[in-house]
Amino acid sequence: MGLWDKIKGEFIDIIDWTDSTNDTIVFKFPRFQNEIKMGAKLTVRESQVAVFMNEGTIADVFQPGMYELSTQNIPILSTLKGWKYGFNSPFKADVFFISTKQFINQKWGTKNPIMLRDAEFGPIRLRAFGTYAFKVNDAAKFLKEISGTDSQYSVDEVNEQLRNIAVSRGMDALAESKIPVLDLSSNTDEVSKIITDKIKPEFNEIGLDLTKFLIENVSLPPEVEQALDKRSSMGIIGNLGAYTQFQAANAMEEAAKNPNGGGMMGAGMGAGMGFGMMNQMGNAFQNQQFNGNTGTNTPPPPPITQYFVAVNGAQTGPFNLQQLQQMAVSGQFTRQSLVWKQGMSGWLAAESQAELQSIFGSVPPPPPPVG
């Protein structure tokens, strides 16, 4: 074997890259000071491209396939400084493999709450997080702008910059969308598309393509969420007067099940307080509605007859006639109950008031004894 044959045997004649990782974007083929043999085999697999570079100048970009390196398929090599042995001699060049597959499930999120202005709530702070996916769509640009001559460049090295772009530009797009805060959860697809359209150009500037942007959660500060929960509860309750009556009826039912003697009396107290609260709230709403109607001359409604009732030495009420009738049916209001209304000089038995007689006339007598 001659000297030239021995030297030729030391030249690289197979160039390829089998990616054994899930996060490598750029891999520089190791030459170990050897030169590439003219006619060497270059294998570029699917989801890869190969970039030849000499002294910082990109010579060519090879798409997936198998190549025999010659001046016919890489004519630009003949102009590089490393080309000094002629067209049939070995040459020196840096070979970079760039992965073009999608890098999925990349996390993004707001480190601190983002201040936004909502049409319903005014200034409000939001937190958001989700995932995104990207891939290299311009290998030459990515090498020039980001990885440079780094022999191995991974996702982690560029992720921080991509997350910052996603959060800062994404939240700007969210604010510009004017979608109400309460509607964000039902419009995540629309919001994701708005944010994708906003930040995609910035990914393209560095040779990347944003292939997916997903919002997993948008949250409000805990105190705001608690206030919204209370507001939702009030909306579910609806008519506060009817809700108060329902609560009072439940209290009387539970008290009636109590075997001790104070059960019905306690129920009477609870019902009285419930009816009194309902009546006061009803009057407040009625007064508010009338006072707000200042543009008309509608007279106020006639006064409602109301009585206070003494229960266990305590004053309860006031109650209107309808409420007293309900209390009489349940046994909490009798002819001997002491009552008082405005204009009376003192507490008197209910049976002494003429307008209360009709209440007791509609109450059925106790059922006859069994047997």
pLDDT in tens, 293-350: 454 556 666 677 888 888 887 888 888 888 888 888 877 888 888 888 888 888 888 8
**Rounded CA gap, 158 and 103, in Å?**
12
Give the global pTM: 0.56
The pLDDT of residue 333? 82
Q: What is the mean pLDDT of residues 225-242?
A: 66
Q: What is the mean pLDDT of residues 112-116?
A: 83
The pLDDT of residue 181? 82
- CB 163, CB 180: distance < 8 Å: no
Span 64-93, pLDDT tens digits: 999 887 755 555 554 444 444 444 456 677
Q: Write down all domains in the chain, each with its CATH number in brackets.
A: 3-99 (no CATH), 103-224 (3.30.479.30), 239-289+304-361 (no CATH)
How far, CA to CA in Å, does 289 sit from each of 253, 277, 292, 300, 305? Answer: 34, 18, 5, 10, 20
**Rounded CA gap, 287 and 166, in Å?**
53
- CB 52, CB 63: distance < 8 Å: no
- CB 209, CB 196: distance < 8 Å: no
User: What residues contact residue 272 under an 8 Å CB cut-off, 6+ apart?
Assistant: 309, 311, 316, 317, 319, 327, 332
Res 8 pLDDT > 50: no
Res 1 pLDDT > 50: no
Q: Of 21, 15, 208, 207, nearest to 94 (Cα)?
A: 15
How far, CA to CA in Å, does 221 sit from each of 182, 225, 271, 329? Answer: 13, 6, 39, 49
**Rounded CA gap, 115 and 127, in Å?**
9
The DSSP result for 286-336, as a single string, is: HHHHHHH-TTS-PPPPPPPPEEEEEETTEEEEEEEHHHHHHHHHTTSS-TT
Higher pLDDT, 54 or 46: 46
How many CB atoms sit inside 10 A of residue 44's CB?
A: 20
Higher pLDDT, 129 or 270: 129
Model confidence at 10, pLDDT cuts 50, 70, 90, reads: very low
Res 275 pLDDT > 70: no
Q: What is the dihedral of CA 267, 281, 359, 340, to 10 degrees?
A: 90
Q: What is the mean pLDDT of residues 215-234?
A: 77
Q: What is the mean pLDDT of residues 239-246?
A: 60
User: What residues contact residue 47 under an 8 Å CB cut-off, 6+ apart?
Assistant: 64, 99, 100, 101
Q: What pairs with residue 251 in β-bridges?
A: none
Among 98-107, 154-163, 247-256, which stretch is predicted with the lowest mean pLDDT? 247-256
- CB 174, CB 46: distance < 8 Å: no
**Rounded CA gap, 233 and 32, in Å?**
72
User: What residues contact residue 237 under an 8 Å CB cut-off, 6+ apart?
Assistant: 243
Res 269 pLDDT > 60: no
Phi, psi of 218 (to 5 degrees): -125, 120
For the chain, what is the mean pLDDT? Answer: 76
Side chain identity, residue 270: G
The pLDDT of residue 6? 42
Span 162-208, pLDDT tens digits: 999 988 888 888 888 888 887 887 888 888 998 999 999 999 999 99
The pLDDT of residue 234? 64
Res 368 pLDDT > 80: no
pLDDT more than 90, % of the chain: 23
22, exposed or middle or buried, with CB in 10 Å at 0-12, 13-18, 19+?
A: exposed
Q: What is the mean pLDDT of residues 96-104?
A: 95
Q: How far apart are the first and last CA of the chain?
A: 130
Phi, psi of 51 (to 5 degrees): -120, 125
Among 30-39, 57-66, 100-109, 243-252, which stretch is predicted with the lowest mean pLDDT? 243-252
The pLDDT of residue 362? 65
